[in-house]
Amino acid sequence: MIKLSNVSYQYDNSKTETLKDINLELERGEVLAIVGPSGGGKSTLLRVIAGLEKPKAGEMFLGSECIYGNGVFVKPEDRGIGMLFQDYALFPHMTVAKNIEYGLIGMKSRERKKRMKEVLELVNLAEYERRYPHELSGGQQQRIALARAIAPMPKILLLDEPFSNLDTFLLQSVREELFGIIRAIGITAIMVTHNPEDAKTQADRVIQIIDGIASESRYEQ
């Protein structure tokens, strides 16, 4: 579903490469967790896959389409990638329905509403479409953000530990819920998580990134 070959990345103001020769391959429906110490390059890798940063070298394929390499660079909005990042919060002035429909601008109004209702069912919040984000719990907001990310039917979903604003108790249940929904819809997903133990139990595969180098995780309890 997604393949990265020898992808390297360097920030303009950095003296060294932040990502070094990353090779990664995921099957359709596979869930990958990325763990590793702070500053290792986890978020940067997601940003590179999303197209928010341009690699220095390498090739990237999404399905059979080349999204980077050999002179090709597909723009983020044309990649068919869903994102659930810490800084991609819900729009506070829009209802749940409007937040979800925001990403479905290309659709006809009736189809858009249908899809909005469909994804709300998926995250078990069907009766919340008229609420505003501040009228929801932290966990419910995350489920709505997930609904918004999957509404346009992306080929792959990227999650950058989108739980930083949740307390520890909520964190565990929301994480489990999100993994549950991802499994139920069978979407291919890559998730950065700070909990290696959780990654091990929920994901099909875990890799770690340390100093920009990716390897299969050897984390043991």
Ligand X SMILES: Nc1ncnc2c1ncn2[C@@H]1O[C@H](COP(=O)(O)OP(=O)(O)OP(=O)(O)O)[C@@H](O)[C@H]1O
Binding site for ligand X (CB under 6 A): 11, 13-14, 18, 36, 38-44
For residue 119, the one-letter residue type is V
Nearest CA-CA partner of 55 in 81, 73, 37: 73
Of the pair 38, 64, the CB lying nearest ligand X is at: 38
Of the pair 42, 143, the CB lying nearest ligand X is at: 42
Least gap, CB of 184 to ligand X (angstroms) = 27
Least gap, CB of 47 to ligand X (angstroms) = 8
Pairing of strands 156-160, 188-192: parallel
For residue 155, the one-letter residue type is K
Q: 24 CB contacts (<8 Å, ≥6 apart)?
A: 2, 3, 4, 7, 32, 207, 214
**Longest alpha-carbon distance in the chain:** 51
Say if CB 142 and CB 68 are below 8 A apart: no
Of the pair 13, 109, the CB lying nearest ligand X is at: 13
Least gap, CB of 24 to ligand X (angstroms) = 15
Pair of tokens at residue 51: 């197209």
CB environment 104-135: b (16+ within 10 A), e (fewer) = beebeeeebbebbeebbebbebeebbeebbee
Least gap, CB of 124 to ligand X (angstroms) = 29
Of the pair 44, 188, the CB lying nearest ligand X is at: 44
Of the pair 125, 158, the CB lying nearest ligand X is at: 158
For residue 212, the one-letter residue type is G
